[in-house]
Amino acid sequence: MTGAAPKITLHLVASLDGIIAKKDNSVSWFETADTYEKGTTVTEEDATAFLRKIDCYVMGSHTYEHALELSKNYGWAYGDTPTIVLSQRNLPVERNSIQVFSGDPGALVNELLKQNYTNVWVVGGAALVKNFLKNKFADEIRLSIVPIILGDGLRLFDETLPEQSLRLKDLTAYKNGMVEMVYEIKK
């Protein structure tokens, strides 16, 4: 607990048509053959330094199960950073950094996140992100767009969201054709 105002970021990767997961859960579409000459390159050191500032990850149970599945081949993606899984289910927990929280999202934000962390990243899935958007629990959206149209799959946004203004904070294009937009959510 540092005393700094905690910031909650929704971190999302989607296709241009707003899809965050294919029906078969395959992730190969993240890697495209695109090359954008004017794009920024990120060194491994930059990426590590950036990720080190995140002091808590939050995810829903399906995203967690998917991350567990991927970890068998690629390792656990979130290192030793505290990771909170929002779920009423009895999920397997194999690392000390992982905690399953069975309360509602409001309790998670007010009783756990705001008390203990300063830079929280919510990494999905769609239901959790929508809940955070509806209740204005998040401070910013960091959306990376992969240069592809998928057509069918799990959509990030739907008609249940209330209208809300955003403020563009940052925009970056990467060498692989990925576009990253950072928006502040006005409260």
Residue numbers of the site for a second copy (CB under 8 A)? Answer: 16-18, 29, 32-34, 36, 38-39, 133, 141, 143, 145, 147-153, 156-168, 170-171, 173, 177, 179, 181, 183
How far, in Å, CA of 167 to CA of 63, rounded? 28
Nearer to a second copy, 38 or 53 (CB): 38
How far, in Å, CA of 107 to CA of 180, rounded? 30
CA atoms within 13 A on the CB side of 6: 19
- The total of other beta-carbon atoms located within 10 Å of residue 40's CB is 12
| Partners of 183 in the β-ladder | 141, 168
Minimal distance in Å, beta carbon 65 to a second copy? 24
Minimal distance in Å, beta carbon 20 to a second copy? 12
DSSP 109-129: IIIIIHHH-SEEEE---HHHH
Nearer to a second copy, 64 or 183 (CB): 183
Minimal distance in Å, beta carbon 48 to a second copy? 25
Nearer to a second copy, 85 or 129 (CB): 129
Nearer to a second copy, 93 or 173 (CB): 173
